[in-house]
């Protein structure tokens, strides 16, 4: 139960080091996008990579070469999908959510809050985390594609040109 044999431990150490080095190598050659702030698509790939690494480490039925092939497949598919999403608006819309306006013009956009399952308190917390003392100095709060919230400060007469591409449903 606590110890089978030395060979099992040695296998985990050797396969673990080689699988880890292979994964790091593949992540480095795949580019920064693989390790960027995650949207849902990136999270799925990251979880799959972690699951694959655990399976390769702990399952005697999976050879190291099979694990490296799985790493390569997952990272390769992510690379292809992200490459296509940069070049095709349709593919980008399939893979990524669009940012959503949650607060604008001094008021909460309740339809957007409900649709995105975000509370007013969470928006206020995002505003406070930016060191903003009052709601009147906030022009807009956007729920970004990675789940983070961006707080835009208001300035008199300044247009909010950074809101291009942000969903304004419920405004």
Sheet containing 100-104, strands listed edge to edge, beginning at the edge strand earlier in sequence: 107-108, 100-104, 138-143, 149-153
pLDDT bracket for residue 162 (50, 70, 90): low
Domain count, the chain: 2
Domain identity same for 118 and 60 = no
| pLDDT, tens digit (0-9, with 9 covering 90-100), for 24-53 | 888 777 766 555 556 677 778 888 999 999
Distance CA(42)–CA(3), nearest Å, equals 37
Q: Which residue has the tokens 């292809």?
A: 80
Domain identity same for 83 and 127 = no
Residue 82: predicted pLDDT: 84
Residue 1: predicted pLDDT: 64
| pLDDT, tens digit (0-9, with 9 covering 90-100), for 64-96 | 999 999 999 998 988 888 889 889 988 887 877
Domain identity same for 111 and 87 = no
| pLDDT, tens digit (0-9, with 9 covering 90-100), for 108-139 | 999 999 999 999 999 999 999 999 888 888 99
Instruction: Assess if residue 169 is contained within a domain.
Output: no
């Amino acid at each position: 139960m606590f110890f089978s044999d030395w060979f099992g431990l040695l296998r985990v150490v050797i396969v673990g080091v080689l699988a880890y080095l292979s994964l790091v190598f593949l992540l480095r050659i795949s580019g920064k996008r693989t390790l960027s702030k995650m949207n849902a698509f990136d999270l799925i790939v990251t979880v799959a990579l972690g699951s694959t690494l655990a399976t390769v480490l702990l399952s005697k039925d999976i050879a190291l070469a099979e694990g490296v092939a799985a790493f390569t497949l997952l990272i390769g598919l992510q690379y292809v999908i992200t490459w296509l999403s940069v070049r095709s608006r349709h593919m980008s819309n399939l893979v990524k959510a669009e940012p959503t306006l949650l607060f604008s013009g001094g008021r909460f956009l309740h339809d957007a809050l409900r649709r995105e399952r975000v509370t007013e308190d969470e928006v206020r917390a995002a505003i406070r985390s930016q060191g903003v003392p009052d709601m009147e100095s906030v022009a807009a709060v956007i729920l970004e594609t990675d789940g983070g919230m961006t707080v835009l400060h208001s300035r008199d007469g300044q247009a909010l040109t950074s809101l291009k591409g942000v969903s304004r449903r419920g405004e």
